[in-house]
Amino acid sequence: MPGYRIDRQPSSTLGPLTLRRRWKIICTCVAISLAAAGAFILLKGAAYTATTQFLVYVKEVQPGSELVVSLGRADLTQVENEIEIIRSRGTLAKVVNALDLADDPEFVPAATLPLDLVRNLFGLRQTSPDESRNRQEIAIESLAKQVALQRVGTSHAIQLKVTTSAAEKSALIASEISQVMLQARVSADQDGERSPLLRERLQGLGPAVYVMTPALIPDNPNGPRKILVLLGALAAGFGIGAVLALLLDLRDRSIRTAAQVEQFGLECLGAIPWLSREKPVPSGRGNALRAQAAQDGLHPAPLLTQTLLRMAVATEAAKARVVGIASPIAGDGATTVARHFAEAAARNQKVLLVEAGRGATATPGAAIPGDSHPEPRDGDLWHDDAGGPDVLTIAASAGGDGCANWWMHCGRKSLAAYDLIVVGLPPLEQGAAFRIAAQSIDGILLVMKWGGADVERIERAFAISGAMPTDFIGAVLNGIDGRMIGLFGDKLWKAETVVGARRSPFAFEMPAEPAAGSA
């Protein structure tokens, strides 16, 4: 069927559809990021910063007959000295005493219950004067951590920042520091013989400060707004989830598209979705295969019907009467697909299904309640009078080659009576067992599990089996997740599912050619 090649499908599954396939991972990452952002907003709390600026200058006496005090330019050393004076313990102590910060829980946290218990237990409770002095020291240390000073560029200006949990408190502390710095400096001349006018002129000679910008109450808290934090967390969570989704798809080396199947030199005949299971219907008649197919769990579906039809047409085009169905590794569903393919083909042909490589006790009819037919043994040929395929049961031997001589269990005349013989083959990775069983096979249909083994293991299975692409009629993907159809670039399968759901199920309509030697 050369017209079925899906050239439009990419061989790589990476792309924008990765985000749709891995949406659960992305949503999980987004939820975790938003939760972390919410916890950060709640635990961090609001912080307000009040800012004020000082200009440092020098008062100096100009030489001359009259006493003239002028303003001079301070050097950088004097600016640094003023910064150290502002952050000094003495300056901060004056602010603490003036504003009673020793009684503010933000600067002196309340004692915890375990600490109080330890103090009471060991008699370590301090006296009132010592405790008051200790609270003041703690307040000074806390205030020092909340005050930031820096020189503004290369100028002689100093910027003071005070950060607390309340806007009014920050502005009040910054203003109090400004008042402390503006207090009259110690007079350079303490001689009582000089006049009051002279002492006033000489007052504060040397470095001094001038408040350039008074402290104002800040309008907004520090940091970005809450909405910006949440939006940033949303973007970060989505980005992390997208990266994880791409990494998972990059590591996923399993087969999920028809183009990946065709890289092995095989034609992809279609896909079989993973569908809900049917309950087996008890019957007193010998329709064992139909009941076993129901146990295998495939409801009739448009995509399944279309794939089985393509398998039948490809078999007819290859003129193969004895068709083997195998998988690269065990557990890919080759046995189940063989049963359903035989059941579908038996609608207008006489079909024999050979269950190779299975124990005699695991045959289809053994699990059917109410059936009068005894449990089949190795080599039993089960005739289905209800219109289904006949079943030949072959038990596996210890060497794994019980399916090699399946044709020895019935005569040539019996085999010639069938239009199509479907043989379940061992997996390719069993090597010798597969080669022995495939000796009398006209063509092989390969069943590959969707999202199953990785490419490297399938390549090893091909190498072990010694099979060539020319030995295969085609391949089908089994067990496709119906929710993922179309999310790996398989647009044709998605379209077939949509179109097939709108039409009534149809039966196989291949003309049955009489088998060679039959009447």
Q: What is the secondary structure of 284-306 as a DSSP string?
A: SSS-HHHHHHHHHT----HHHHH
Q: Where are the beta strands (DSSP E) in 299-456?
A: 322-326, 351-355, 381-382, 390-393, 420-424, 443-449
Residue 517 domain-assigned?
no
247 vs 482 pLDDT, higher one: 247
Q: Are residues 167 and 285 in the same domain?
A: no
Which of 213, 241, 269 terminates a domain? The answer is 213
How far is the C-alpha of 169 from the C-alpha of 162, rounded, in Å?
9
212 vs 472 pLDDT, higher one: 472
Q: Are residues 257 and 200 in the same domain?
A: no
pLDDT above 90 for 30: yes
Mean pLDDT value of segment 481-486:
78
The phi-psi region of residue 21 (left if phi > 0; otherwise alpha if psi is between -120 and 50; otherwise beta) is alpha
Q: Are residues 394 and 453 in the same domain?
A: yes
Residue 370's domain comprises 253-500
Mean pLDDT value of segment 182-206:
50
Q: Are residues 208 and 240 in the same domain?
A: no
How far is the C-alpha of 66 from the C-alpha of 8, rounded, in Å?
100
The phi-psi region of residue 357 (left if phi > 0; otherwise alpha if psi is between -120 and 50; otherwise beta) is left
Q: Are residues 278 and 289 in the same domain?
A: yes
**pLDDT tens column, 378-411:** 456 777 667 788 888 776 555 444 455 666 666 6
Which of 201, 233, 249 terminates a domain? The answer is 249
257 vs 512 pLDDT, higher one: 257
Residue 493 domain-assigned?
yes
Would you state the pLDDT for residue 79?
82
Residue 510 domain-assigned?
no
Mean pLDDT value of segment 243-247:
91
Residue with tokens 């800040």: 218
**pLDDT tens column, 89-138:** 888 999 999 898 888 888 888 765 565 565 556 555 554 555 677 888 99
pLDDT category at 424 given cuts 50, 70, 90 is confident
Q: Are residues 239 and 319 in the same domain?
A: no
Q: What are phi and psi of 466, to 5 degrees?
A: 75, 10
Contact 50, 278 (CB under 8 A): no
Instruction: Kindly tell me the sign of the dihedral angle through the C-alpha atoms of 258, 261, 264, 266.
Output: negative
317's enclosing H/E stretch is helix 302-317
Would you state the pLDDT for residue 162?
93
Contact 393, 355 (CB under 8 A): yes
Residue 9 domain-assigned?
no
Which of 161, 191, 213 terminates a domain? The answer is 213
What residue type is assigned to position 482 of the chain? Answer: G
Comparing C-alpha atoms, which of 386, 357, 359, 356 is closest to residue 371? 386
Would you state the pLDDT for residue 278?
47
Q: Are residues 53 and 165 in the same domain?
A: yes
The phi-psi region of residue 319 (left if phi > 0; otherwise alpha if psi is between -120 and 50; otherwise beta) is left
pLDDT category at 32 given cuts 50, 70, 90 is very high
Would you state the pLDDT for residue 474?
93
Q: Are residues 413 and 468 in the same domain?
A: yes
Q: What is the mean pLDDT of the chain?
A: 75
Mean pLDDT value of segment 10-21:
73
Residue 140 domain-assigned?
yes
User: Which DSSP category does 387 fall into?
Assistant: S
pLDDT above 80 for 286: no
Q: What are phi and psi of 162, to 5 degrees?
A: -125, 125
Q: Cβ neighbours of residue 450 under 8 Å, at least 6 residues apart?
A: 254, 255, 256, 271, 274, 477, 478, 479, 480, 481
End-to-end CA distance of the chain: 31
Residue 59: Cβ within 10 Å count = 18
**DSSP letter string, 188-202:** S---TTS-HHHHHHH
358 token code pair: 């299975």
Would you state the pLDDT for residue 63?
57
Q: Are residues 55 and 136 in the same domain?
A: yes
Q: Are residues 156 and 295 in the same domain?
A: no
20 vs 175 pLDDT, higher one: 175
Residue 425: Cβ within 10 Å count = 29
Residue 474: Cβ within 10 Å count = 24
Mean pLDDT value of segment 431-456:
88
Would you state the pLDDT for residue 249?
85
- Stated length of the chain: 519
Q: Are residues 317 and 442 in the same domain?
A: yes
Contact 174, 69 (CB under 8 A): no
Residue 122 domain-assigned?
yes
Residue 8: Cβ within 10 Å count = 11
User: Which DSSP category does 418 fall into?
Assistant: -
Mean pLDDT value of segment 356-378:
41
389 token code pair: 């395929």
Q: What is the CA radius of gyration of the chain?
A: 45
pLDDT over 70 for what percent of the chain? 66
**pLDDT tens column, 140-162:** 999 999 999 998 888 888 899 99
Contact 74, 58 (CB under 8 A): yes
pLDDT category at 250 given cuts 50, 70, 90 is confident
Q: pTM of the prediction?
A: 0.61
pLDDT above 90 for 33: yes
Residue 451 domain-assigned?
yes
155 token code pair: 């100028």
Q: Are residues 380 and 447 in the same domain?
A: yes
Residue 3 domain-assigned?
no
What residue type is assigned to position 104 of the chain? Answer: D
**How many separate domains does the chain show?**
3
507 token code pair: 């039966």
CATH number reported for the structural domain that contains residue 371 in this entry: 3.40.50.300
